[in-house]
Amino acid sequence: MKNVSQIIDGKRKIIKKPELLAPAGNLEKLKTTIMYGADAVFVGGKEFSLRSQASNFTIDDIKEAVEFANGYGAHIHVTCNIILHQDNLKGIKEYLKTLDEIGVRAIIVADPYIMRIAKELKLRLEVHVSTQLSTLNLKAIQFYADMGMDRVVLGRETTFEDLKVIMEKTPIDIEYFIHGAMCIHYSGRCMLSNYLSRRDANRGGCSQSCRWYYDLYDQGELVNQEKDMPFSMSSKDMALVDHIGELIELGVDSFKIEGRMKSLHYIATVVSTYRKLIDAYCDNPDEFQFNDFYRQELNKAANRALCHGFFYDNPTKDEQLFNLRDEHPTQEFVIRVLDYDQEKKLAKIEQRNYFQLGDKVEFFSPHHENIVVDIHKIYNEDMEAIEVANHPMEILYIEIDYPVQSHDMGRKV
Ligand code: SF4
């Protein structure tokens, strides 16, 4: 077990903070993710990455991402977790060398061939075993350690009890999912999407067929039509927000947030919430008291109801959403702050959703506490007063006494 804390000035402090690792589907989200407190971001490259739909990064994008991350002391991980078919092998060595040269911290891999060549090429970057391999036990972790791997991303199906056993003796770093969507099937090992939409879930093309609406038959009799209740197999999303302290005390090396396809508002909200929670716990673990603020924050961006996934044991019917697959954030993201003029008390903003005079907007940020403001003056780019902001991405100005900052976000209360 790793030593995670030390007495400093008579008070126990956490000296081994876990890495907070978050996803990004494009450069804008990546920069926001880092500004809102992620220590590392994982992205998919255009080549050799599993999530083909997740607007993947070119080499130039990855280069820009690394440079931006370096400015914040953060790191970039690149997924190379494609299940390789014979015709996917070409160019892999050159690709890995390029990622290494531009300063990528780690690649996330699933195919044993990529594991082997990444080590044979003697690259500086770390090699992380993808969650796609569903690693759930210490013996398998030892196997990957013997192959020279630097980290294992555990399967989402790892319970807390199993994690305790793993953290006692693991010879390499462990990454553990703390937040995100769950498959109804064993993570990714699912053929539903292949059969129903010809999109291969195991090669990044999942059409989330488990969340479609189905007719449900019991011994030949249609049972869900009468009640006009659609049947779906959607799982609630996982959130371990109330167990972060226990995971830190175990010495888990990296906390993973899932969701490369999620919105800017979602990722900023989730990352900043876990950032604040981890920092508060590590600063004073013995007096830390979990309060509902963190869960309430997550709920403002949560798409679906939240649960603990496999943390306690196999999920039960209570962790499923059998007839509900719609995704609704509880608060709408309406404003992105571009600049603030302290003298004129005027914020230059980008409109992200409809708002109008009289609305209450809550601004949140990595730099200050949440603040709720009444919108009482809106101007267009020609500084003409307007009453409604109804053009997506329009540049506008609002009067606001509180000094907001560039990249702060506002959501309608
Ligand atoms: S269809 Fe559902 S269970 Fe299957 S891989 Fe996609 S999200 Fe997972």
Domain range summary for the chain, segments of one domain joined by +: 5-182+236-321, 332-412
**Span from the CA of 324 to the centroid of ligand 1 (angstroms):** 16
- Provide Rg for the chain, Cα atoms: 23
pTM strictly above 0.85: yes
CATH of domain 332-412: 2.40.30.10
The per-residue b/e assignment along 192-207, b for 16 or more CB within 10 angstroms, e otherwise, is bbbeeeebbbbbbbbb
pLDDT at 189: 77
Are the CB atoms for 274 and 257 separated by under 8 Å? yes
Any ligand 1 atom below 6 A from CB of 208: yes
| Rounded (5°) CA angle 222-223-229 | 115
Residue 389 has a CB neighbour count (10 Å cut-off) of 23
The predicted model gives 349-362 an average pLDDT of 95
Any ligand 1 atom below 6 A from CB of 194: no
- The answer, yes or no, to whether residue 52 has pLDDT greater than 60, is no
Q: Using one digit for the tens of pLDDT, what is the confidence trace for 115-142?
A: 999 999 999 999 999 998 999 999 999 9
Ligand 1 atom nearest to CA at 233 = 2
- The answer, yes or no, to whether residue 337 has pLDDT greater than 90, is yes
**Range of lowest pLDDT (55-59, 60-64, 172-176, 266-270):** 55-59
Please name the residue whose Cα sits nearest to atom 6 of ligand 1: 208
pLDDT at 227: 61
pLDDT at 234: 82
**Span from the CA of 156 to the centroid of ligand 1 (angstroms):** 13
Ligand 1 atom nearest to CA at 188 = 5
The C-alpha atoms of residue 158 and residue 313 are separated, in whole angstroms, by: 9
CATH of domain 5-182+236-321: 3.20.20.70
**Span from the CA of 178 to the centroid of ligand 1 (angstroms):** 19
The predicted model gives 158-177 an average pLDDT of 97
**Span from the CA of 387 to the centroid of ligand 1 (angstroms):** 44
**Span from the CA of 12 to the centroid of ligand 1 (angstroms):** 43
pLDDT band at 383 (very low <50, low <70, confident <90, very high): very high
Contacts of 135 (CB under 8 A, 6+ apart): 129, 141, 144, 152, 153, 154, 155
Any ligand 1 atom below 6 A from CB of 97: no
